[in-house]
Amino acid sequence: MFHALGDPTRRAMLDRLTHGPLSVSALAAPLGITITAVAQHLQVLEECALVRTEKLGRVRTCRIEMAGFDTLERWIADHRTEWARRLDQLGALLDELDEGSE
Amino acid sequence: MEQPKVVHSTFTLERKFSKPPEVVFAAFSDPAKLRRWFADSKAHETEAFTVDFKVGGEEYLRYKMIGGPVAGLTVVNKGSYQVIVPNERIVTATTMSVEGRPISASQVTIELLPTSEGTDLICTHQGAFFENADGPQLREQGFRVLMDKLAAMLAN
């Protein structure tokens, strides 16, 4: 995930896709890189579920895939989940004290 | 101006326990008890845990993730006790690092309030979340859009 986002070209691609879906060639043109290079970047982004591509006829279209961004949001939100889990575990430990296992 | 890269968020969690505040507090001050609910988890493998429960003392936790987006990676939680009021209040300044890279710095406040049923616990986590230092600084607008989205989500 962070590897995917760590590359400036990939971030530029994501930035453009946030404005709407694009064909691979439309995505590649302003970046001044080859279609092959774009395809490699897209593969990394697809593996992280940040981007989804779909071939319709002869045109491959790329769009932002929200599932990957959800992962990143979850990673940040995990602090909350982690604390919620800890407090649940604290509750269980306190309940145990009733059973004379102090 | 370069865009901010740090996302700030605060969340609060509350629990009601049927034990008096002294008993709940002991689960924080006793390292053996603290380990069981704070340090250990099915989601990770605890590698090291030490705690020196006093103002200025440190709590150190290192574990390896079993699942999630960072499975297999080593996480370190380091906390420094800022304020301790027995049976009432614990304030800790903590940082979290993944593979040696800081990903967040937070202040965690635990407040224990006596009730007729036992104790109300309020946990307030004020965090600064950093971009993972995996590559160059993150500047593009697309990522800023994402960070705005995240900040909005975390504010809820």
Q: Which residues of B touch A72 (CB under 8 A)?
A: 69, 146, 150
What's chain B's average pLDDT? 82
Q: Are residues A24 and A62 in the same domain?
A: yes
Q: What is the reported pLDDT for B97?
A: 86
Q: CA geometry: angle at B112 spanning B107 and B113, to 5°?
A: 135
Instruction: Kindly determine whether residue B69 and residue A12, on different chains, have CB atoms separated by under 8 Å.
Output: no
Whether residue B5 contacts residue B129, with contact meaning beta carbons closer than 8 Å, is answered with no
Length in residues, chain B: 156
If asked whether residues A26 and A72 sit together in one domain, one would say no
Residue A59 shares a structural domain with residue A73: no
Nearest to B37 among A11, A84, A93 (CB): A93
Enumerate the residues of chain B whose CB falls inside 8 A of the CB of residue A27. Answer: none
> What's the pLDDT score for residue B99?
76
Nearest chain A alpha carbon to B17: A91
A78 and A54 both lie in a single domain: no
CA distance B140 to chain A (A): 7
Whether residue A75 sits in one domain with residue A44 = no
pLDDT for position B95: 94
Answer whether B69 sits within 8 Å of A75, measured CB to CB.
Answer: yes
Range of the domain at A29: 2-66
Q: Based on the fold, state whether residues A60 and A82 are members of the same structural domain.
A: no
- Is residue A33's pLDDT more than 80? yes
| A25 shares its domain with A36 | yes
What is the separation of C-alpha A89 from the centre of its chain, rounded to a whole number of angstroms?
A: 30
Q: How far is B6 from chain A (nearest CA, A)?
A: 12
Task: Give me the number of domains chain A comprises.
Answer: 2
Of the partner residues B142, B145, B150, the one whose CB lies closest to the CB of residue A73: B150
Structure confidence by residue, pLDDT tens digits, A39-81: 999 998 888 778 889 988 888 889 877 665 654 455 555 678 7
Given pLDDT bands bounded at 50, 70 and 90, which one contains residue B141? Answer: very low
Q: Are B29 and B59 in contact (CB under 8 A)?
A: no
CATH number of the domain encompassing residue A39: 1.10.10.10
Using one digit for the tens of pLDDT, what is the confidence trace for B41-83?
Answer: 887 899 999 999 999 999 999 998 776 555 677 889 999 999 9
Record the pTM.
Answer: 0.63
* pLDDT above 70 for A26: yes
A56 and A6 together in one domain: yes
Q: Would you state the pLDDT for residue B119?
A: 95
Verify whether the Cβ–Cβ distance B125 to A80 is below 8 Å: yes
Which has the closest alpha carbon to B133: B103, B106, B95?
Answer: B103
A28 and A56 belong to one structural domain: yes
Are A73 and A58 in the same domain?
no
pLDDT at B1: 76
The CATH class of the B7-154 domain is: alpha beta
Residues B133-140, mean pLDDT to the nearest whole number: 30
Domain borders along chain B are 7-154
pLDDT value for B70? 56
- For residue A89, the model assigns a pLDDT of 94
Give B134's contacts in chain A (Cβ within 8 Å). Answer: 2-3, 5-6
Residues A60 and A74 in one domain: no
The whole-number pLDDT of residue B139 equals 28
B85-100, pLDDT tens digit by residue?
A: 999 999 999 998 877 8
- Say whether both A11 and A26 belong to one domain: yes
A73 contact partners, CB below 8 Å, separation of at least 6: B149, B150, B153
Least confident of A15-19, A45-49, B13-17, B105-109: A15-19
Q: E-strand spans in chain A?
A: 22-23, 51-56, 59-64
